[in-house]
Amino acid sequence: MKLSDLKNTRWTLDHPELGTGPVSIDSYSSPEYFDRMREKVFKQTWLCSSKRIDEIPNPGDYFVENIDIANASIVIVRGMDGVIRGFHNVCLHRGTQLVFDSYGSVKGKFTCIYHGWSYSLSGKNVLVTEKEMFFDPDHIEADLIPVAVDVWEGLIFYNLDPKPKETLREHLGNELMDLYGSYPFEQTTVQLSYKADLPCSWPVLRDSQIDGYHLKYLHRRSAPGFMESEDAPSRHAYDFKLLGRHSSGSFYGNRARIGADLSSAAPITALASRVGQTLASDTASRVPLEQWAPGVNPTKSDNWFFDILYVYPNIHFIFLGYDAYIIHKMMPGKTYNTSTWNARYFGPPVASSDLASKWAAEFMKVSLRDLWREDGNTTLGAQKAIDSGVFKKMYLQDQEIMIRHAEKILNDAVNS
Ligand code: FES
Ligand SMILES: [Fe+2]
């Protein structure tokens, strides 16, 4: 498909419920909105940890998730029976945090540092130290408080609601699962993880990774020439889909040309893309497009750069090829104008003996770092403008439909 074939397309007009007017910024600016969002969204929606089951392969392997907006910390652990479970990271004696490392492994039980109470990996209290000194020792109910955990395609999700109102599969929806369920997530390994605490509201951060519009402007130095299209200069998207609460977009790119052109502005980019997986690698030449998951590069266009799958409320998958993708996890902080961004890149495993691929993987790390620093930088100025009160509404063009949709879905949930 060519971008010029889409000359008269206006995706937003196909969804009249979204409107076309300026968009208010309550969710970016209001502490009251933030309080309602805590209760209506983050304490009762399935949230993706962005971790995979193979990151905690053995009994006792665990990781900790901090959900600052809910003042919650949870530990997700693989049990002796191989089952992955979640618990509030709280000792039931006097509320001390049970686990402190972000990742770790224990031998069959968690032990609290304060007075030594212990818990099995299935959450059962197995030791109250000096038990005889308690007053009704046989009636101490001190099992860990469970958190609902479920897995889709190897990705671990959790829900802080003690009784989730829907299953993870109901939350994702059949359409999303049909489009992306056959993606070879299991053939990839995590190759880098960056984290940043930012003084901006969570929606500002969410929006920083949800449009293709900004790439040829903001990233003109770090990704030169990637998105310019002489065919249709003011278009960058081949496709958008609204998938219930979620959405997807597919974007034009000059990957093949950049990879082929060693005399371009960034010859090192071309070189790295030939020997490993980078932003310019043409994975379609390695795995034919018809074998890709139907949701990725859905128009099966030759000049394709990447797809975004936004999973409500706070996850963006950026598909970069047949088996390379990024997960951005955008978490609100403790206050409306703070947030935490964790970006993780997954790709095909790189053999340690393959020096060329290892070099390309290092090149990919610094490429993404440069891109993301540019994105992160924009969030700071935006929040200042919002908090000053001078900036009151956003004008969104047709190809920013994913922001318009995400904001409507969020407002509907928060104001319900
Ligand atoms: S608070 Fe954990 S054992 Fe006392
Ligand atoms: Fe960006």
Using one digit for the tens of pLDDT, what is the confidence trace for 115-168?
999 999 999 999 999 999 999 999 999 999 999 999 999 999 999 999 999 999
User: Taking the model in full, what pTM does it have?
Assistant: 0.96
Phi, psi of 119 (to 5 degrees): -135, 135
Token pair of 274 as six digits: 């030939």
Q: Which residues surround ligand 2, an ion (CB under 5 A)?
A: 375
Ordered DSSP codes for 276-307: S--TT--GGGTS-GGGS-TTSSTT--SSEEEE
Residue 261 vs residue 130, higher pLDDT: 130
* Residue 112 in contact with ligand 1 by CB distance below 6 A: yes
Residue 282 confidence class, pLDDT cut points 50, 70, 90: confident
- Length of the chain in terms of residues written: 416
Are residues 14 and 295 in contact, defined by beta-carbon separation less than 8 angstroms?
no
* Residue 127 in contact with ligand 1 by CB distance below 6 A: no
Token pair of 187 as six digits: 């053939």
Task: Round to whole Å and give the CA distance between 321 and 169.
Answer: 25
Instruction: Give residue 104 CA to ligand 1 midpoint distance, Å.
Output: 20
Q: Taking the CB of residue 229, how many other CB atoms lie within 10 A of it?
A: 17
The domain 47-165 belongs to what CATH superfamily? Rieske [2Fe-2S] iron-sulphur domain (2.102.10.10)
Q: Which of 75, 93, 118, 129 to mutate to test the pocket of ligand 1 (most atoms within 8 A of CB)?
A: 93
Task: Round to whole Å and give the CA distance between 346 and 192.
Answer: 7
Could you tell me where in the chain the CATH 2.102.10.10 domains are found?
47-165
Amino acid at position 317, single letter: F
Q: Which of 75, 89, 94, 130 to mutate to test the pocket of ligand 1 (most atoms within 8 A of CB)?
A: 94
**Which numbered atom of ligand 1 lies nearest the CA of 91?**
2
Q: Are strands 304-311 and 84-88 parallel, antiparallel or unpaired?
A: unpaired
pLDDT at res. 271:
86
Residue 223 vs residue 217, higher pLDDT: 217
Q: Is the pLDDT of residue 410 over 90?
A: yes
* Residue 115 in contact with ligand 1 by CB distance below 6 A: yes
pLDDT at res. 328:
98
Mean of the pLDDT values across residues 165-173?
98
Mean of the pLDDT values across residues 5-17?
95
Q: What SS3 state is found at 396?
A: coil
Q: Which of 340, 95, 299 is nearest to 206 (CA)?
A: 340
Q: Return mean pLDDT, the chain.
A: 94
The DSSP output letter for 221 is T
Ordered DSSP codes for 154-215: TEEEEE-SSS-SS-HHHHH-HHHHHHHTTS-GGG-EEEEEEEEEESS-HHHHHHTTS-STTH
Task: Round to whole Å and give the CA distance between 354 and 356.
Answer: 6
Instruction: Give residue 124 CA to ligand 1 midpoint distance, Å.
Output: 15
Taking phi first (over 0 means left), then psi (-120 to 50 degrees means alpha), and beta for anything else, what does residue 389 get? left
Q: Is the pLDDT of residue 13 over 90?
A: yes
pLDDT at res. 129:
97
pLDDT at res. 270:
83
Q: Taking the CB of residue 334, how many other CB atoms lie within 10 A of it?
A: 11
Residue 280 confidence class, pLDDT cut points 50, 70, 90: confident
Instruction: Give residue 283 CA to ligand 2 midpoint distance, Å.
Output: 21
Instruction: Give residue 368 CA to ligand 2 midpoint distance, Å.
Output: 10
Q: What is the pLDDT of residues 40-66, one digit of tens each?
A: 999 999 999 999 999 999 999 999 999
Are residues 232 and 7 in contact, defined by beta-carbon separation less than 8 angstroms?
yes
Q: What percent of the chain has pLDDT over 70?
A: 99
Could you tell me where in the chain the CATH 3.90.380.10 domains are found?
3-42+173-414
Which element (helix H / strand E) includes 338? none
Q: What percent of the chain has pLDDT over 90?
A: 85
pLDDT at res. 264:
67
Four-point Cα dihedral 275, 280, 286, 290, nearest 10: 170
**Domain 3-42+173-414: which CATH number of 2.40.50.100, 3.90.380.10, 3.40.710.10, 3.30.450.40:** 3.90.380.10
Q: Taking the CB of residue 146, how many other CB atoms lie within 10 A of it?
A: 14
Are residues 59 and 78 in contact, defined by beta-carbon separation less than 8 angstroms?
yes
Instruction: Give residue 76 CA to ligand 1 midpoint distance, Å.
Output: 20
Residue 265 confidence class, pLDDT cut points 50, 70, 90: low
pLDDT at res. 96:
98
Q: Is the pLDDT of residue 252 over 60?
A: yes
pLDDT at res. 277:
85
